[in-house]
Amino acid sequence: MATFQNQATLSYNGNVTNSNVISGELLDVISATKTAVVNSYTACDNITYIISIVNSGTTAYTGLTITDDLGSYVVGTLTLVPLTYVAGSIHLYLNGIAQAAPTVTAGPPLVISGITVPANSNVTIIYEATANQYAPLTTGATILNTATIDGGGLSSPIEVDNTATVDNTAILSITKSLCPTTVSENGQITYTFTIQNAGNVAAVAGDNVVLTDTFDPILDPISVTFNGTAWVDPTNYSYDNTTGVFATVAGQIIVPAATFTQDPATGTWVVTPGVATLIVTGTV
């Protein structure tokens, strides 16, 4: 709701007189909100956005356009867009019933056009956007995503926004290598397990990380190191030399957080994973 005032002026024979000032209220019959199914993200995540437009008036609004900035932000002289529209993800519902998809220009900015909201009705637009290489990933980082609804007879644009916060979590991956790849009986082989953390917090003892493997052929005896420090059974790991089943004790594996740097020339975020290394050497 907005208030307005105006006043008339009467001129005659070189004289000027003003009327009284009248006031009125302009009721907003169009309202809108923007939400996300999940208000958090990690690198390359898809965020699902929902824009709801409600027309509580008795006249339809036609030809509305939504312009979404896809989280645009400025760093130095660069304007960076951390979200990429997922092609084909747009859906439109009128009073909860699926309709033909509106016209989309992927941008940036993302432009959704040709929207009609009948009298006493609501329209819901759902679409996805991917957190791309410009999405900040450091602890506490956010993406402020703003959409502007305009046209269709609106007296002024309607602006709606949503803030998504990066997940503060460890993101682990593991690779395994063998050396040598050809060995004689009673020879030694070494398994190297490289654990990487692309997340913005460390994997700590409380995360209860456990690595398990079944060595085939069975190794006996074995020696184990973690980040260059010797481990012992059963304090750090367990091993059954009759089945070849190996398992680390929960909480013994700790992996540091990744580091994140933003290229000043391009604005791209570069992720350097934290790394931990477990090495098992044994006799075949």
Q: What is the pLDDT of residues 229-269, one digit of tens each?
A: 999 999 999 999 999 999 999 999 999 999 999 999 999 99
Averaged pLDDT, 96-108: 96
Residues 6+ apart with CB under 8 A from 163: 39, 142, 143, 144, 145
Q: What is the pLDDT of residues 116-161, one digit of tens each?
A: 999 999 999 999 999 999 999 999 999 999 999 999 889 899 999 9
Q: Are 239 and 222 contacting, i.e. CB atoms less than 8 angstroms apart? A: yes
Q: What pLDDT score was predicted for residue 20? A: 77
Q: What pLDDT score was predicted for residue 3? A: 60
Q: Are 194 and 277 contacting, i.e. CB atoms less than 8 angstroms apart? A: yes
Is residue 204, in this structure, part of any structural domain at all?
A: yes
Q: What pLDDT score was predicted for residue 13? A: 79
Work out how many domains the chain is built from and give that number. 2
Q: What pLDDT score was predicted for residue 244? A: 97
pLDDT band per the 50, 70, 90 thresholds, residue 179: very high
DSSP lists the bridge partners of residue 213 as 246
Q: What pLDDT score was predicted for residue 7? A: 82
Q: Which two tokens stand for residue 98?
A: 């699926």
Is residue 32, in this structure, part of any structural domain at all?
A: yes
Output 10 or 177, whichever has higher pLDDT: 177
Is the same domain home to 149 and 197? no
pLDDT band per the 50, 70, 90 thresholds, residue 173: very high
Give the number of other CB atoms < 10 A from CB of residue 146: 17
Asked whether residue 26 carries a pLDDT value surpassing 70, the answer given is: no
Q: What is the pLDDT of residues 194-240, one digit of tens each?
A: 999 999 999 999 999 999 999 999 999 999 999 999 999 999 999 99
Q: Which two tokens stand for residue 240?
A: 């059954």
DSSP lists the bridge partners of residue 114 as none
Is the same domain home to 107 and 148? yes
Among residues 191, 179, 170, 168, the alpha carbon closest in space to that of 248 is found at 191
Is the same domain home to 178 and 146? no
pLDDT band per the 50, 70, 90 thresholds, residue 165: very high
**In the predicted model, what is the mean pLDDT of the chain?**
94
Is the same domain home to 53 and 155? yes
Output 7 or 157, whichever has higher pLDDT: 157
Is residue 30, in this structure, part of any structural domain at all?
A: yes
Q: What pLDDT score was predicted for residue 35? A: 98
Asked whether residue 101 carries a pLDDT value surpassing 90, the answer given is: yes
Q: What pLDDT score was predicted for residue 1? A: 46
Q: What pLDDT score was predicted for residue 5? A: 77
Is the same domain home to 180 and 125? no
Q: What is the pLDDT of residues 44-68, one digit of tens each?
A: 999 999 999 999 999 999 999 999 9
Range of the domain at 114: 26-166
Is the same domain home to 150 and 192? no
Q: What pLDDT score was predicted for residue 157? A: 96
Q: Are 28 and 84 contacting, i.e. CB atoms less than 8 angstroms apart? A: no
pLDDT band per the 50, 70, 90 thresholds, residue 4: low
Is the same domain home to 40 and 108? yes
Q: Are 217 and 193 contacting, i.e. CB atoms less than 8 angstroms apart? A: no
Is the same domain home to 260 and 209? yes
Is residue 8, in this structure, part of any structural domain at all?
A: no
Q: What pLDDT score was predicted for residue 249? A: 98
Is residue 15, in this structure, part of any structural domain at all?
A: no
Is residue 2, in this structure, part of any structural domain at all?
A: no
Averaged pLDDT, 2-11: 75
